[in-house]
Amino acid sequence: MAECVIVSHMSMIALNENELEALRILWEKGALKPAEIQAHFSWPIENATLRSVLVNLVEKKHASRALQGKAFFYAARIPKATLLQNLMQRLAHVFAGGSNQELVAQLVETADLDPADLVFLRKTAAATTPTKTKRKSK
């Protein structure tokens, strides 16, 4: 239903918390009506606010809107991995001089990680090849 879209770094900056939450829901659940999106929000959101969020996502080309019968359905247009990669590049630029390696190191150093987390990170790093690998989104 939804087509993928390439986005610039500048459009990433403009995503607010409600827009990111709506995208999370659309990635997890697929195309939904606004009331269904609202029901899955992790916090209360007014209907009018949600409608504004969805209009903004469509205008930014991060989501699509399609009429099915009498209802509009919204779907994510930007793949989760694409947004994550763009946000990571932006964070690396701001916090680590553009270095993904330095950004990850800073995240590990500043995060509240337990030993099991570190074991998981070591296993993930060991399994990663030098070429780009795609991690299955959960």
**Tens digits of residue pLDDT in 124-138:** 989 987 665 555 555
- 55 with 117, same domain: the answer is no
Q: Report the run of H or E that residue 87 belongs to, with start and end.
A: helix 80-96
pLDDT, average across residues 70-89: 95
133 located within any domain: no
- 74 with 13, same domain: the answer is yes
123 located within any domain: yes
Q: Report the run of H or E that residue 72 belongs to, with start and end.
A: strand 71-76
Q: Cα–chain-centroid distance for residue 67?
A: 24
- Global pTM? 0.77
* Per-residue pLDDT at 137: 52
23 located within any domain: yes
Tell me if 65 sits within 8 A of 2, measured CB to CB. no
Q: How many domains in the chain?
A: 2
3 located within any domain: no
For 8-17, how does the pLDDT look when each residue is reduced to its tens digit (9 = 90+)?
444 445 799 9
Domain that residue 19 falls in: 9-79
117 located within any domain: yes
Q: Which long-range contacts (CB under 8 A, 24 or more apart) does 38-44 make?
A: none
- 115 with 67, same domain: the answer is no
